[in-house]
Amino acid sequence: MTGPVVIIGAGPAGLSAAWTLQQQGLKNVIVLEREAEAGGLPRHCGHVGFGVFDFHRVWRGPEYARQLRERLAPGTIRCGTSVLALKPGGELSIRDAEGVHALQASQVLLTTGTRETPRSARMVSGTRPFGVMNTGSLQRYAYETGQRPFQHPVVVGSEWVAFSSLLTLRHLGVRPLALVEAGDEVLAPGPAALISDTVFGVPVHTQTRLQSIHGEERVEGVTLLQHGEEIFLPCDGVILSGQFVPEASLVRQSHLQLDAGTGGPAIDSFWRCSDPSYFAAGNVLRPVEHSGVAAAEGVAAARAMLQARDGVLPAADAAIPVTVSAPLAYLYPQRLYAQKPLHHKLLLRARVSQRTEGTLRWLADGVTLGRQRLSARPCRRVQLHWPAGDWQGARQLELRMEP
């Protein structure tokens, strides 16, 4: 293979993959990052909890990002570089300080991460005053300016990231009025609601939906729909948290297959996309996981890329597609091989769209291979192992709930 290995995105997945490749002796590795500094979302997260899974240390986000950057060889990361297009065979169109030009890679790893759903896609009516932010914008604002954008905001959503925003607000000396969740229960695992109420002093209201935002220059209040009744709550800010989607705009505009369930690129069990010159790992594959999971996937993808360079992976066109049905929201990888990988267990990752208790059935061309009990809630990671039944020669694999 000629040309560099190019990694698009300098967050935990991309930087961990680059380090893995360099540790195995690969010298020509380039990480492209459109922002001015590498490190991804942890750069703006001032709370602790980073580095546990990959460094076995506990750091704040900026320190974790610095450690990821500094273990790479000098010159590996090119910031201020945007990828404009993905073309067949690993050809990229990029824009940097020198202008727009082509870059031919031997392999490409997509680690472009995730983003929160913006207000426009949440169908929230009302005016557009200052003080409406998502969690990422809040953390960047707090980290870069150290100022308070508001004093008494409302936090919308109850995924883990909402409680991360409570930590950021506490560091700023801001006291949120409430955390509201449209569903019947808090989506974050564990005693998150109890911690919000008792530790942060922020009450949690489920079955409460943000209807509209009021204010001219600044937020002056919100209208909430709570148990069917409209309530006006005076406040000076709104944090729209969660509802993550993969940052997969490059994939959508390219020849690569996009998975309807995850919203990210479809991959096989070796992290390969539909064009085997491309691989993908981390939060571009599905709605958000924490940095430790993203970093581990970057490492696994890098190892698969090395195997591909050595010619030991099965032919990409021999992969068998897997389909899922409700209540499974998605499953990845979406393509498997009859010859299971020898370097690791065949682990599949999924999530459900609603609270689920029941039995999953694994099928190959309609023939049952095995069953597995499933107990899961929305926004919780589900890890599955394909059963040991014989599926040699199958053309379609399926995973569905027992009736």
Q: Is the sign of the CA dihedral 180, 51, 272, 352 positive or negative?
A: negative
Which amino acid type is present at position 120?
A: S
Q: Which domain holds residue 194?
A: 118-242
Given this model, what pLDDT does residue 389 score? Answer: 67
C-alpha dihedral, 9 to 13 to 19 to 22, nearest 10°: -70
DSSP state of 249: H
Q: Are residues 113 and 125 in the same domain?
A: no
Answer yes or no: do 1 and 72 share one domain: yes
Domain check: are 167 and 180 in the same one?
A: yes
Q: Which of 136-140, 196-200, 274-278, 384-388 has the least mean pLDDT?
A: 196-200
Q: What is the mean pLDDT of residues 237-242?
A: 94
Nearest Cα neighbor of 62 from 76, 46, 75 is 46
Q: Is the pLDDT of residue 343 over 50?
A: no
Tell me the per-residue pLDDT of 159-210, one tens digit each, with 9 for 90 and over.
Answer: 888 888 888 888 889 999 999 999 888 888 777 777 777 767 899 999 999 9
Residue 268 — very low, low, confident or very high, per pLDDT cuts 50/70/90? very high
Tell me: the pLDDT tens digits for 143-165?
Answer: 888 889 999 999 999 988 888 88
Let me know whether 222 and 254 are in one domain: no
CATH code for the domain of 174: 3.50.50.60
pLDDT tens readout for residues 92-105: 999 999 999 999 99
Q: Do 353 and 378 fall into the same domain?
A: yes
Backbone angles phi, psi at 376, to 5 degrees: -150, 160
Distances from the Cα of 243 to the Cαs of 41, 54, 118, 306, 375, in angstroms?
A: 16, 26, 9, 34, 22
Predicted pLDDT of residue 118: 81
Domain co-membership, 135 together with 213: yes
Same domain? 111 vs 247: yes
How high is the pLDDT of residue 171? 83
* Domain end (from 188, 207, 242): 242
> Residue 253 is which amino acid?
Q
Q: How far apart are CA 40 and CA 12, in angstroms?
A: 7
pLDDT tens digits, one per residue of 348-379: 899 998 889 999 999 999 999 888 899 988 87
In degrees, to the nearest 5, what angle opens at C-alpha 312 toward C-alphas 307 and 318? 110
What's the domain count of the chain? Answer: 3
Q: Which of 316, 331, 362 is the last residue of a domain?
A: 316
In this structure, the answer to whether residues 335 and 305 fall within a common structural domain is no
Q: Are residues 102 and 247 in the same domain?
A: yes
Number of residues written out for the chain: 403
Last-in-domain residue among 242, 272, 305: 242
Same domain, 1 and 112: yes
Q: Determine contact, residues 72/17, Cβ cutoff 8 Å.
A: no
pLDDT tier at 132 (50, 70, 90 boundaries)?
A: very high
Span 97-123, average pLDDT: 92
Helix ranges restricted to H, 93-212: 119-122, 135-145, 160-172, 192-198
pLDDT beyond 90 at 44: no
Number of neighbours of residue 274 by Cβ within 10 angstroms: 20
Residues 345, 286 within the same domain: no
- Taking alpha carbons only, the member of 292, 227, 223, 279 closest to residue 251 is 279
Contact by Cβ (8 Å): 267, 273 = yes
| 57 & 19 share domain | yes
The percentage of residues in the chain with a pLDDT greater than 70, rounded to a whole number, is 97
Note the pLDDT of residue 377.
86
